[in-house]
Amino acid sequence: MLTLREMQEKREHEFLSPYAAFSDASLGRDREEPHCDLRTIYQRDRDRIIHSKAFRRLNAKTQVFLTPEGDHYRTRLTHTLEVAQTARTIAKALRLNEDLTEAIALGHDLGHTPFGHAGERALKRVREGGFHHHLQSIRVVELLEKHGRGLNLSKEVRDGIVSHQVDGRAMTLEGNIVRLADKIAYVNHDIDDAIRGNIITEADIPTEYTSVLGHTLTQRLNTLIHDIIINSEEKNEICMSPEVERAMGDLRKYMFANVYTNPVAKGQEHKAERLVEQLVEYYTDHTELLPEEYRFMMSDRNESVNHVVCDYVAGMTDRYAVAKYREIMIPEAWDVY
């Protein structure tokens, strides 16, 4: 008698596109494990990511705006969920593997730092070999979670996570969906947050972009998602029409020029960068204060002090980083002010 997992794997072959990544054809994990009788390999990966500590911490990490006034600005977690929702919509329409798509989407930003890209810039300066959040996401799932054992995810999920950057290319169509869904999500919800924060208005966005993509958040999402589906149907690639892809790229450049480097939105980021750098400096000199699991990485896994300290700081939430900075840098007698 077939297990529930085997029945699901059988249905995949009956329903999914021939270009889909089938669960029973996965390249597997680095460490072999007994199969689950209920869940496919990609469903288990998704669940492991959701239950990880790094995933929970995304809720308190900056997406774009530091300390925004209001409850409705995106965090790194809400961004991740929006990427997953967009990616699953596309995968479902193309009859690709939704579970693999969701697992990649939920894990793609696990390596992000506190304070968004300000924290990433700081760590890029102080970490030996530099710092890139997509590579840190892989380090999280392969090494840092579960006290150095990692999550032991499938090769397809890890490939999708490390390939989600703008110029990446995943081994599966599901991974390439996430790469585009990430851009779609962050550009459009960053516009929404920028309008909410009075950084720009909808009318400020050049009409050569909005005439192609749409004049509202809903219209732009609808245009981009439909364009990917229409242009990728029955193909062994995930692609957009040249016109829409060009407008999307130009809109992204507009956001970098007018929001991501805007002094009103980003004026406090130099303070966050210095805070991160000082935390790295302090813990480099006081490794005995690192949590046990990080000290284990140095003593038993022979990881360098610099890399482990940067792992610890990169994993902090915004508020935890501020709290540790106050604890370390501000004398107790002054903390009443």
pLDDT digits (tens, 9 = 90+) for 268-298: 889 999 999 999 999 999 999 999 999 999 9
- For position 136, what pLDDT does the model report? 97
- Phi and psi at residue 62, in whole multiples of 5°? -65, 140
pLDDT of residue 291: 96
Q: Please name every residue paired with 75 in a beta bridge, in sequence order, or none if there are none.
A: 62
pLDDT for 71: 72
Please check the confidence at residue 40 and state whether its pLDDT lies above 60.
yes
Read off the pLDDT band of 138 (50, 70, 90). very high
- Range in 38-42, 125-129, 218-222, 256-260 with the lowest mean pLDDT: 256-260
* pLDDT value of position 146: 94
The answer to whether the CB of 182 falls within 8 A of the CB of 101 is: no
Evaluate whether 95 touches 20 at the Cβ level (below 8 Å): yes
pLDDT at 68 over 80: no
Band of residue 218 on the pLDDT scale cut at 50, 70, 90 = very high
pLDDT score of 264: 67
Q: Measured between alpha carbons, how far is 139 from 180 in angstroms, rounded to an integer?
A: 22
The residue among 325 and 335 whose pLDDT is bigger is 325
Amino acid (1-letter code) at residue 273: E
pTM: 0.95
